[in-house]
Amino acid sequence: MSTNFIPRRSSTRCEPSDSKQSGEVPMSTNDQLLALRQKYKQTLPATLARIGILAESLVEGTSHEDATPDRTALSEALHKLAGSAGSFGLPALSAQASRLDRQLEQLLAADPQDDKYGLWIGRLVAELRALSHFAQTDRLPDDHYVSTAMNSPTQGLEPEVWLLEDDELLGSSLVSHLEAFNFTARLFTSYADLSAAFAGQQPQVLVLDILLGTEGRSVDRLRETGLLKEAHSRLIFISARDDFSARLQAAELGAEGFFIKPLDIPRLVTRVEQVLTRLHAPAERVLIVDDDELLAQYYQELLTRAGMQVEILHDPALTVETLERKLPDIVLMDLQMPEISGQNLAAVIRQYDQWMGLPIVYLSAEHDPAQQLRALNQGADDFLTKPVDDAHLITAVRSRVARSRQLLELMTKDSLTGLLKHATIKESLKREWAMAKRKGETLCVAMLDIDHFKQVNDRFGHATGDEVIASVATLLRQRLRATDILGRYGGEEFAVVLANCDASAAAALLDDFRRRFQELQFSYEGESFSVTISIGVAEYRPGMEVDADALLVNADKALYQAKTSGRNRLQVYGG
């Protein structure tokens, strides 16, 4: 059994509108990071002077207890210096401050009546006094900082899907399927032709048959020729054999999909769409909670230059409020902050169900493994020790966010279609309705139902029915706006939420989808067939006495009217 989509229209370019524009920053000297470094240099003498004053209190204190407040302040100052100096180009000063902080911690735990206690204090104070001189010899050149900006992941890539398949009949069929769903696709039947084209441009997605007849394994050819050495195209492999070694080789090359022949074409098309969605994913939203203002600004600039959206919060007490307002993908927080420790703050965040899965990463100068483990047990996901290497921080944030988004999709999206599940689409509608009401904007809700779907299942089997359902989802993603919210309401029924959109615009958009869907041709054991869909639309306008639940009811009534009026049509509620 197979399913074929034979296009009856010309294709258009696939250019998702959700592009991460903020990542398109040219590579150049990073003046902002240099300016922050200069500012840090200017504040450093005052920081070292304060440490010196606090060091004197170690000598002046008459007992261990009398000096405890000053010693705690000294420990906090050393901890902050250890975390910040390395980031601003003073790695030796950072290491020395960290070493002295550990010595001070041991001193605080020692018995002041010990005969050697005074000697220990004297040595520590001498080294603390020497920090100022130590800082003067630890200088990196002013051009140490260069831009850490990263090009947009789509920069230089053609908005196309290229296919390497030496079976021309199968390849042409796959190209037709892709074009039917609005992708621009291009077929290559030999590795040599692909290599020649690749020298001039690169596609966003490259689909390759892992075994190319007389040409051997495409994975071997890719290694031999180094085709992907400077490439950024996303890879998907197809194969006639499902063996571990082939999958392993594909994984080593960074493949994001592996499909076995005979191909489940709707799932392959869906995977291509998912890969492109990740490629055009919105910028990572980062919340930094840190009382060190300059260091937080440094991290903000660093991550912003890497294409992320970064918010700084210096008051931990406002964390929950900020989470609700900014909806970050990840939280980076210092472990040691005045009044509120990072581990307690992480525990507070985990008290809220909606933030249970939010990645929390500590950025701290704490080197004690036991302390790190205790902090992680409070609900955080990772621990990065300051000073954190620039590239390490960017990669850690990006990988954590990507994984979190994937897990969130698994929890909230239907496995067959990739659309929001029933409960999630209803929650999304309530949120969008509340926003529309607050802003005084229009909002439309649509209910869609596949016509005579039971007959499809009875005649062609449930596997074919699943392919039809998956096709609805894929075409919806292709034809509707990037801002529209799509859900599988149940079975063969779908729901769409169109924010800031009136009934006329929604009807035009959805009726175009309806017409294009009926043009798709499916096949089962040599028999071709098409399927139609009915749509009901309900509108919310400012001032209307209708809530989110009532909107769904109205859209369902309009859908019922479309069904009873002959199916394969769109009906607006009240129209």
Domain parsing of the chain, residue ranges: 51-139, 154-279, 285-412, 422-572
Per-residue pLDDT at 136 exceeds 60:
yes
What is the end-to-end Cα distance of the chain in Å, rounded? 42
pLDDT digits (tens, 9 = 90+) for 432-477: 999 999 999 999 999 999 999 999 999 998 888 988 998 899 899 8
Number of helical H runs and strand E runs in the chain: 20, 17
Q: What is the pLDDT of residues 10-67, one digit of tens each?
A: 333 333 333 334 444 443 436 777 788 878 888 888 888 888 888 777 666 544 444 4
SS3 assignment, position 126:
helix
Please indicate whether residue 198 or residue 66 has the higher confidence score (pLDDT). Answer: 198
Residue 145 scores a pLDDT above 70: no
| Rounded Cα distance, 426 and 358, in Å | 22
182 φ, ψ (degrees, to nearest 5): 80, 10
Distance CA 195, CA 181 (A): 26
What is the DSSP track for 533-552?
A: EEEEEEEE-TT----HHHHH
DSSP H/E element including 390: helix 390-412
**Lowest mean pLDDT: which of 141-155, 249-263, 465-479?**
141-155
Using the Cα atoms of residue 332, residue 334, residue 338 and residue 342 in order, give the sign of their dihedral.
Answer: positive
User: How confident is the model over 363-379, as a mean pLDDT?
Assistant: 75
Does residue 370 surpass a pLDDT of 60? yes
Domains 154-279 and 285-412 share a fold: yes
Tokens representing 528 are 């071709």
Res 216 pLDDT > 60: yes
d(CA 472, CA 447): 13
- Is residue 334 within 8 Å of residue 289, measured between CB atoms? yes
Catalytic residues: 492
Task: Using the structure block, give the residue that is written with the tokens 């209307």.
Answer: 544
Token pair listed for 397: 């944030």
The CATH code for residues 285-412 is 3.40.50.2300
Please state, for a pLDDT cut of 70, what percent of the chain lies above it: 85
Please tell me the predicted confidence (pLDDT) of residue 497. Answer: 97
Burial of 99 (0-12, 13-18, 19+ CB in 10 A): middle
CATH of domain 154-279: 3.40.50.2300
pLDDT above 90 for 524: no
Alpha carbon 444 to its chain centroid, in Å, reads 28
Give the pLDDT confidence of 384-413 residue by residue, as tens digits.
888 888 888 999 999 899 888 888 877 888
Dihedral sign from CA coordinates of 83, 86, 91, 93: negative
0.95 exceeded by the pTM? no
Confidence of residue 559 (pLDDT cuts 50, 70, 90): very high
* 8-state DSSP, 338: S
Among 436, 425, 456, residue whose Cα is nearest residue 555: 425
- Torsion angle of the four alpha carbons 84, 90, 92, 96, in this order, in degrees rounded to the nearest 10: -40
Give pLDDT, residue 555.
Answer: 97
At 8 the pLDDT is 29
pLDDT for 26 equals 42
Those residues whose C-beta lies under 8 Å from the C-beta of residue 554, and which sit 6 or more positions away, are 445, 538, 546, 573, 574
pLDDT at 532 > cutoff 60: yes
Q: Residue 551: what pLDDT?
A: 96
The tokens of 558 are what?
A: 């309009």
- In this predicted structure, the answer to whether residue 531 has a pLDDT above a threshold of 80 is yes
Q: In the prediction, which pLDDT does 28 show?
A: 42
With a cut of 50, say whether residue 149 has pLDDT above it. no
Calculate mean pLDDT across residues 135-150.
Answer: 52
C-alpha torsion angle, residues 548, 549, 551, 557 (rounded to 10): 170
Question: For residue 358, is pLDDT > 50?
Answer: yes
Confidence label for 294 from pLDDT (cuts 50, 70 and 90)? confident
Q: HSE (CB half, 13 Å, CA atoms) of 528? A: 8
Instruction: Please give the single-letter amino acid code of residue 424.
Output: T
Average pLDDT over residues 157-165: 88
> Which among 244-248, 319-323, 363-367 has the top mean pLDDT?
319-323
Q: What proportion of the chain, given as a percentage, has pLDDT over 90?
A: 31
Query: What does the pLDDT look like over 69-96, one tens digit per residue?
Result: 577 788 778 878 888 888 787 877 888 8
- The Cα–Cα gap between 534 and 538 comes to 14
User: How many whole angstroms separate alpha carbon 146 and alpha carbon 30?
Assistant: 5
Of residues 434 and 225, more confidence is placed in 434
User: DSSP E strands: which ranges in 443-530?
Assistant: 443-450, 485-490, 493-499, 522-524, 527-529
**Of residues 508, 548, 547, the one with CA closest to residue 535:** 508
User: What is the total residue count of the chain?
Assistant: 575
The amino acid occupying position 449 is D
Q: What is the CATH number of domain 422-572?
A: 3.30.70.270
* 3-state SS, residue 366: coil
**CA geometry: angle at 235 spanning 18 and 151, to 5°?**
45
* C-alpha–C-alpha distance, residues 110 and 114, integer Å: 8
CA distances, 187 to each of 206, 451, 465 (Å): 10, 34, 29
Scanning 280-389, the segments in alpha helix (DSSP H) are: 293-305, 319-326, 342-349, 369-376
CA 308 from centroid of its chain's CA atoms = 10
**Residue 152 confidence (pLDDT):** 57
Q: 522 versus 115: which is more confidently predicted? A: 522
What is the pLDDT, as a whole number, of residue 40? Answer: 83
pLDDT grade for 154, boundaries at 50, 70 and 90: low
User: Would you tell me how many other CB atoms lie within 10 Å of the CB of residue 566?
Assistant: 9
Rounded CA gap, 320 and 397, in Å? 20
CA–CA separation, 469 and 276 (whole Å)? 20
**Burial of 199 from C-beta contacts in 10 A (0-12 / 13-18 / 19+):** exposed
